[in-house]
């Protein structure tokens, strides 16, 4: 079994922020340390971390037998990015877990990324009540990595950091998986502390939901993935899941400013304005 035996899933949101230790990396995804989830997500205006601290994360996309994608709406009680719609599950690899969640350069080079996948198994159980028996770790496919930075412009949670707000600055591992059943029959036990709603959608339904006239809020990482990658992979889902056609272990996709070589800090409402996608070839991984 790959579910974590060391992580306490009964903590409060505030406890998770204090106690979870995220994996700090540099722009080439080399591990350089760790930090509390709270400290890594502080965007302090004029301080030492105006764009937070770069750390590893993962985004899981679960598809059903009808090729529909499972979405979630983050709970209104979440400290960061409350109430936004997003992909199936998105969270962080942590230090100190068993099985380990820190992928080595060789694990990334091979595309195995079992650390990220172990973290995904842990959080699928925690957030959605999905057992590993229904989404085995070996059925999860790593595709690529995204480096982005996003400030929580709504900043609606009462516990904002002094002198700034919360945000994400992530090296995001994109993970796809398909379950051989109709989505509504997948056993789930949704954690109300994490999720307000779930929905299985087709590609056309998602496009309608993401139309600006819908009034729905979306996580910045999901908007970037949807606008840049998702529909191509989704339209060729069998190949994405069963071959290495879309696997890219040697590139980190970065969202960069057109004006200067700096990360753009996006709001949750506007993602694609005045940006270009740049790719950084990573050698030696």
Active-site option among 90, 101, 149, 168: 90
Closest CA to 264 of 164, 151, 174: 151
Report how far apart, in Å, the C-alpha atoms of 42 and of each of 203, 220, 261 are: 34, 17, 22
Strand-pair partners of 198: 72
Active site (annotated) includes residue 90? yes
Active-site option among 101, 127, 170, 194: 170
Strands (E) located in the chain? 21-25, 31-36, 42-44, 55-63, 69-74, 85-86, 89-91, 141-151, 164-178, 195-201, 251-257, 275-281
Active site (annotated) includes residue 113? no
Strand-pair partners of 218: 85
Count of Cβ atoms closer than 10 Å to residue 259 Cβ: 8
| Rg of the chain taking only CA atoms, in angstroms | 17
Q: Which residues are catalytically annotated?
A: 90, 170
């Amino acid at each position: 079994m790959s579910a974590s035996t060391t992580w306490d899933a009964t903590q409060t949101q505030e406890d998770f922020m204090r106690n979870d230790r995220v994996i700090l990396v540099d722009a080439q995804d080399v591990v350089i340390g760790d930090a509390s989830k709270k400290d890594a997500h502080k965007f302090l205006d004029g301080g030492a971390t105006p764009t937070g601290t770069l750390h590893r994360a993962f985004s899981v996309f679960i598809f059903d037998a009808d090729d529909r994608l499972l979405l979630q709406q983050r709970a209104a009680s979440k400290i960061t990015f409350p109430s936004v719609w997003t992909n199936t599950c998105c969270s962080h690899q942590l230090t100190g877990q068993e099985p380990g969640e820190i992928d080595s350069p060789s694990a990334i080079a091979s595309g195995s990324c079992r650390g990220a996948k172990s973290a995904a198994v842990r959080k699928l159980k925690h957030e959605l009540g999905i057992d590993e028996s229904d989404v085995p770790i070996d059925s999860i496919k790593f595709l690529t990595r995204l480096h982005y930075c996003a400030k929580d412009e709504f900043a609606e949670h009462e516990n904002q950091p002094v002198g700034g707000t919360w945000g994400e600055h992530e090296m995001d591992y994109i993970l796809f998986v398909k379950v051989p059943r109709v989505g509504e029959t997948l056993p789930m036990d949704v954690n109300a502390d994490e999720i307000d709603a779930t929905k299985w959608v087709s590609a056309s339904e998602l496009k309608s939901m993401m139309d600006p006239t819908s009034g729905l809020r979306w996580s910045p990482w999901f908007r970037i993935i949807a606008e840049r990658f998702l529909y191509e992979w989704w339209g060729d889902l069998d190949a994405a899941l069963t071959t290495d056609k879309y696997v890219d272990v040697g590139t980190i996709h970065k969202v960069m400013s057109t004006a200067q070589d700096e990360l753009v800090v996006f709001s949750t409402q506007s993602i694609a304005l005045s940006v270009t996608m740049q790719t950084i070839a990573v050698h030696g991984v």
